[in-house]
Structure 1
Amino acid sequence: MKADLHIHSNHSDGSSSTMEIMQSAREKGVTHLSIVDHDTVEGLPEAVRVGRSLGIKVISGIEISAYDFKRKRKVHILGYNYHLDAQHIRTVCEPLRKRRHRHSRWQMEQIQEAGYSIDRSRIEQQAQPSDTVYKQHIMDCLTKASYPSEEYQQLYKKLFKNDGAASGDIEYADAFKAVRAIVADGGLAVVAHPGQLDSYEIIPELVEAGLGGIERNHPDHTAQDHKRVEDLAREHDLVMTGGTDYHGRFGANVEIGDSVSPLNFLCE
């Protein structure tokens, strides 16, 4: 059994279709996976259907773009095994997607005013089946350089970071509300890659809201992160999960199954 519980598809900010993900997973020997698209559950029915046809167990998943307002930092919340209607999760996530899409349209306008040639309607069309445009979609229009390349990263920082023409971000969901929504829908709430976002401090507080796990295995995590996650999981009786955080060509050079979940309880 091999489980990759952190994969993104073209229903949010990944470049790969559900079928492409499933075929790659089968080639890599992945038997259980979860597509945790940002702030949407719309791709789940297709994932379950395709996974069944290829003999892969699909676990319902999502990654909610949340925020620790006390410490003023991002904290992403993964949700697994929630009810398929995901009523509470949808309530939290639908305003997020709308804010992000409006912000992306504003970013495209700013980039045009800065002298770059982009076709906004084409970007929105190419972003489908996602109903939300992400920065990755905008960058895909501006350059064909690979995500890890110096050329891509320099342009990204120039436009979207610091005083860039399209810098700034949306208001994210409160992390406590995100956890409670997942739990209300019968799911397991997990803090995603705390080492990447330095979101360790909020974990004990989120436990009181129903947090059930922490992501241990992630490409950005160090041995020190592994130890810190293990200590917190032991102290608060939390499960540990893992995955590649795969985004296809919109992300780092990782393959599905390169990083797997250390536990199989979600797959039983």
Structure 2
Amino acid sequence: MKARPSIARVANVATAGMPPVALPAGALEGCVDLHCHSTASDGILSPAELVSRAKSCGVTLLSLTDHDTVAGIAEAQVAAAAAGVTLLPGIELSSRWGKQLVHIVGLGVDTGSEALRRAISERDGLRSERAEHIGARLEKRGFYGALDGARRLAGDGVLGRPHFARWLVEAGHVEDTARAFKRYLGAGKCGDVSVEWPQLEETIAAVHGAGGCAVLAHPLKYGMTRTRLLRLMTDFCAVGGDAVELLCGRQNPVQTRELARLMAEAAQAAERPTALLCSLGSDFHQPGQPWRELGCTHLPADVEPVWNLWQTSANATAAKPD
């Protein structure tokens, strides 16, 4: 049996080479949402509009986690400061576990770090290549202008399959984006172009290099068996992962309890000295999806939340003598 890699976990964001993020008073008075998207990637709302909607939904701690970019963070920070919302800079990095696509959310990252800049640059190139292949495949199916249309809809944001889906709707080829994925862009369809994203360990290292906390995003969305999901989470532990998104949008409580058990088993299997922390988020992309509305979900009371990292930092900062 192949030996698992040794655990190289960042126990606190302060150990990753940047000052600790301290949560201000009131950050946890309302809802928490640590996974959402803006027009900087494949969301519908601008970063400022997203913050405004989060505020109206009662969110007091928010992380903007656009796909493979932090381009929306500066705008979101300005809007959050004006709205009285605490914003944790974040990102959702595309990654691979073997041949399986997985997403790693980085929370509390230093957006100007060299490690994060390199990770984003690498993914920019991979996304550009994938978009060209998707466009070419759609052209062969008679959907002329797909690439240019998707690029126009993406604007300055990160180009992804949702932009192709929106173009297919705009051009009248399908009724809605769900149908676009079902017919042309989903798994096994003509627009499903595989990408050699950086591996899990490299991605976690990039998040840690940016001073952030590495979170395994929406584990239930990968469609894995229990055995395979346990293997993924065990490997995630073993290569330094910090937390798992226990809840992603509105979720069946039975699934949540089972996922919490898997997290405990994974930590034990990886011989991890501490439990995996629990994160949550809506994975909000657009209005009109109540199961993914900002702030729509809450962690159970009997788990350790990922924001304890920054609460601890805040307490330590407050206790430090002048």
| TM-score using structure 1 length | 0.87
Match for residue 308 of structure 2?
Answer: 265
Deviation at 1:220, TM superposition (A): 6.9
Match for residue 135 of structure 2?
Answer: 108
Match of 1:10 among 10, 34, 39: 39
Deviation at 1:24, TM superposition (A): 0.7
Letter in 2 for 1:175: L
Instruction: Please state whether the residue corresponding to 1:59 is helix, strand or coil.
Output: strand
Q: Is the 8 A contact 1:81 1:266 kept in 2?
A: no
CA distance in 2: counterparts of 1:43 and 1:257, whole angstroms? 19
Letter in 2 for 1:265: N
Match for residue 73 of structure 1?
Answer: 100
Q: Is the 8 A contact 1:215 1:240 kept in 2?
A: yes
Match for residue 278 of structure 2?
Answer: 240
**Identity score, percent:** 24
Match for residue 203 of structure 1?
Answer: 233
Q: Quickly say closer, same or farther: Cα 1:117–1:260, change in 2 above 3 A.
A: farther
Does structure 1 residue 50 correspond to structure 2 residue 83?
Answer: no
Instruction: Please state whether the residue corresponding to 1:157 is helix, strand or coil.
Output: helix
Q: Is the 8 A contact 1:79 1:188 kept in 2?
A: yes
Deviations 1:114-150 (A, max 9, x none): 11243643432331221x32111111111159xxx98
Ranges in structure 2 where 5+ consecutive residues have no aligned partner: 1-28, 268-274, 312-322
Letter in 1 for 2:143: Y
Does structure 1 residue 99 correspond to structure 2 residue 126?
Answer: yes
Match for residue 38 of structure 1?
Answer: 67
Q: Is the 8 A contact 2:66 2:92 kept in 1?
A: yes
Ranges in structure 1 where 5+ consecutive residues have no aligned partner: none
Deviation at 1:172, TM superposition (A): 1.5
Does structure 1 residue 182 correspond to structure 2 residue 207?
Answer: yes
CA distance in 2: counterparts of 1:251 and 1:97, whole angstroms? 28
Q: Is the 8 A contact 1:41 1:62 kept in 2?
A: yes
Does structure 1 residue 136 correspond to structure 2 residue 166?
Answer: no
Q: Is the 8 A contact 1:32 1:267 kept in 2?
A: no
Instruction: Please state whether the residue corresponding to 1:66 is helix, strand or coil.
Output: strand
CA distance in 2: counterparts of 1:243 and 1:166, whole angstroms? 28
CA distance in 1: counterparts of 2:293 and 2:49, whole angstroms? 12
Match for residue 49 of structure 2?
Answer: 20
Deviations 1:153-181 (A, max 9, x none): 33322212466332322111201111111
Give 1:202-221 correspondences, 5 Å limit.
202-219=232-249, 221=251
Aligned length: 262
Deviation at 1:75, TM superposition (A): 1.9
What's the RMSD between the two structures over aligned residues?
2.6
Match for residue 13 of structure 2?
Answer: none
Query: After alignment, is 156-165 or 239-248 more displaced?
Result: 156-165
Match for residue 272 of structure 2?
Answer: none
Letter in 2 for 1:247: H
Deviation at 1:239, TM superposition (A): 0.8
Q: Is the 8 A contact 1:40 1:90 kept in 2?
A: no
| TM-score using structure 2 length | 0.73
